[in-house]
Structure 1
Amino acid sequence: MGLESLQLPTYERIAEPIPWTKSLLDKFNIKLSTMDKFCQFLGEVIGTSMLVFLGCTGCVQNANFANSPLQSSLNVGLVVMVIVHCFGCVCGAHLNPAITLAVYIYDMISLTMSGVYFAGQLLGAFLGYGLMKALVPANAISLGGAAHGVCVPAPHPDITAMQAFWIEFIASAMLIITTCSAADARNNAFQDSLPIRFGLTVTCLGLSVGQLSGAMCNPVKAFAAAAWNYDFQDHWVYWTAPLISAAVSATFYKVIFKRDYVERRVLPEKR
Structure 2
Amino acid sequence: MAKLAVGHHREASEPDCIRAVLAEVVLTFLFVFAGVGAAMTAGKMVGGADSIMGLTAVALAHALVVAVMISAGLHISGGHLNPAVTLGLAVGGHITLFRSLLYILAQLLGSTLASLLLRYLTGGLDTPVHTLAAGMDAAQGVIMEIVLTFSLLFSVYATIVDPKTRVTGGLGPLLVGLVVGANILAGGPFSGASMNPARSFGPALASWVWTDHWVYWVGPIVGGVLAGFVYDQIFIVRSRHEPIPRDEDF
TM-score range, shorter chain: 0.7 to 0.9
- Tell me how far 1:137 sits from its aligned partner: 3.8
Unaligned runs of 5+ in 1: 1-32, 143-148, 263-271
What is aligned with 2:121? 135
Q: Which amino acid aligns with 2:224?
A: A
Distance in 1, matches of 2:131 and 2:44, equals 24
Q: Which amino acid aligns with 1:252?
A: V
Determine which structure has more spread, i.e. the larger CA radius of gyration.
1
- Tell me how far 1:104 sits from its aligned partner: 0.8
- Is contact 1:185-1:260 (8 Å) kept? no
What is aligned with 1:176? 153
What is aligned with 1:84? 70
1:161 aligns with 2:153: no
For normalisation by structure 2, the TM-score amounts to: 0.83
- Is contact 2:25-2:107 (8 Å) kept? yes
- Tell me how far 1:84 sits from its aligned partner: 1.2
- Is contact 1:184-1:260 (8 Å) kept? no
Distance in 2, matches of 1:118 and 1:44, equals 9
Q: Which amino acid aligns with 2:227?
A: S
Q: Deviations over 1:14-37 (max 9, x none)?
A: xxxxxxxxxxxxxxxxxxx82211
Decide which of 87, 96, 106 is 1:101's aligned counterpart: 87
What is aligned with 2:16? 36
CA RMSD of aligned residues (A): 2.0
Distance change (3 Å), C-alpha of 1:45 and 1:63:
closer
Q: Percent identity?
A: 28
Aligned residues: 222
Decide which of 197, 201, 217 is 1:219's aligned counterpart: 197
- Is contact 1:49-1:128 (8 Å) kept? yes
What is aligned with 1:193? 171
Q: Deviations over 1:139-163 (max 9, x none)?
A: xx44xxxxxx51x010001211211
- Tell me how far 1:192 sits from its aligned partner: 2.3
Distance in 2, matches of 1:238 and 1:81, equals 22
Unaligned runs of 5+ in 2: 1-12, 49-53, 241-250
Q: Which amino acid aligns with 2:132?
A: P
Distance change (3 Å), C-alpha of 1:155 and 1:120:
same
For normalisation by structure 1, the TM-score amounts to: 0.77
Q: Deviations over 1:51-76 (max 9, x none)?
A: 11111001114785345100010011
1:73 aligns with 2:59: yes
Greater RCO structure (CA 8 Å; 6+ sep): 2
- Is contact 2:84-2:220 (8 Å) kept? yes
Distance in 2, matches of 1:126 and 1:61, equals 19
Deviation beyond 6 Å, 4+ runs, structure 1: none
Distance in 2, matches of 1:255 and 1:62, equals 41
Decide which of 92, 109, 119 is 2:105's aligned counterpart: 119
